[in-house]
Amino acid sequence: MVFLKRQLPLLICFVIGTVTALQYYVPTNFSAEMSEGLSNWYIIVSMFAALLGFVSVGMVHTKKIQRQEPGWAYSTLVILGFLAMVIVGFVSGGKETTPDGRPSSYGWLYNCTLVPLQATMFAILGFYVASAAFRSFRAKSFDAGVLLATAVIVLLGNVPFTNQVWAGWLGIHDVAGVKIEMTDIVSWLIGTPNAAARRGVTFGVALGAIATSLKIIFGIERAYLGGGD
């Protein structure tokens, strides 16, 4: 039983991990087919993982409604929203547009519910990021000043008004034939010093990810097995 509970999962992880990693370095037709097959298997298994999460959320809200816990009425909205989308989705055959290019009922529901909800949720974060920055950004040191100056240049450089001032009013277009507009300065900042720092960080993250992957494949890191037997 210990073999089935603890050793078999480690063996599955080792075999699948090794085969997946090796197929990249052995580019034959067989390995390409196997890679595609494994990728499809992964997508199918992931579908069940998503289902596990959805069922969990459903159970939490159903229990809340059954027990009439505080805020249970809001839980009915989760169920209603889910049912509305699923029923309309099946009726439309999962297609967001009709053959003549117009939005189907599923596409319509998607456009007038999910799109505004999602966009507004992230737009709200803009307010909080800006207010947090206003409270915490203080150019108390040279380093903090560099951070602040970069943020301001990136923010202002993407605004059409700044470009109007730069090119229209100041008349700056190029320096010795090198095209320079406000957006080019932002592009240089993002593409040169920012890219250099990100590259340095990426090296560290990549080496850490490779080391962790190796630890998982060789069964040194086994937190995914969870506790218990």
Partner 1 sequence: MEIVGAWIAVGLTLFMFSFLYKDNPFYKVGENLYVGITIGYFVIQLWYKTWIDKVWDVLTGQAHDRFVILIPVLIGALLLTRFVPKIAWMSRWAFAFVIGYGAGLAIPATLTTSVVIQAQATAKPLVTMPDRSPGAAKATENAKAAYDKAKEGAAKEDEKIRAARYRYEQSRSVSEYTFLTAYRDFTTIVIFVGVFCVLFYFFFSIEHRGPVRAFSRVGILFLMIYFGASYGNTVMGRLSLLYGRVLDLKDYSRQMYGFATPVILVLMIAVLAALHVKNKGKDEGHAA
Site for partner 1 in 191-210 (CB under 8 A): 191-207, 209-210
- Cβ proximity to partner 1, 28 vs 44, nearer residue: 44
CB 216 within 8 A of CB 224: yes
CB of 24 to partner 1, least distance (A): 4
Phi, psi (deg, nearest 5) at residue 141: -130, 175
Site for partner 1 in 153-172 (CB under 8 A): 153-155, 158
| Cα-Cα-Cα-Cα dihedral sign, residues 74, 78, 81, 84 | negative
Q: DSSP secondary-structure letter at 218?
A: T
Minimal distance in Å, beta carbon 145 to partner 1?
Answer: 9
Give 69 or 174: the residue with its C-beta nearer to partner 1: 174
Residues in 57-86 that interact with partner 1 by CB under 8 A: 57-58, 71, 74-75, 77-86
At its nearest, how many Å lie between partner 1 and the CB of residue 170? 15
Is position 115 an interface residue for partner 1 (rule: CB under 8 A)?
yes
Per rule CB under 8 A, is residue 121 in the interface with partner 1? yes
Q: Identify residue 195 by its one-letter amino acid code.
A: A
What burial letters (b/e) apply to 4-36, b meaning 16+ CB within 10 Å? Answer: eeeeeebeebeeebeeeeebeeeeeeeeeebee
Q: What amino acid is encoded at 94 in this protein?
A: G
Name which of residues 135 to 154 contact partner 1 (CB under 8 A): 143-144, 146-154
26 binds partner 1 (CB under 8 A): no
Residue count at the site for partner 1 (CB under 8 A)?
A: 128
CB of 168 to partner 1, least distance (A): 13
**Nearest-CA neighbor of 14 among 216, 209, 225?**
216
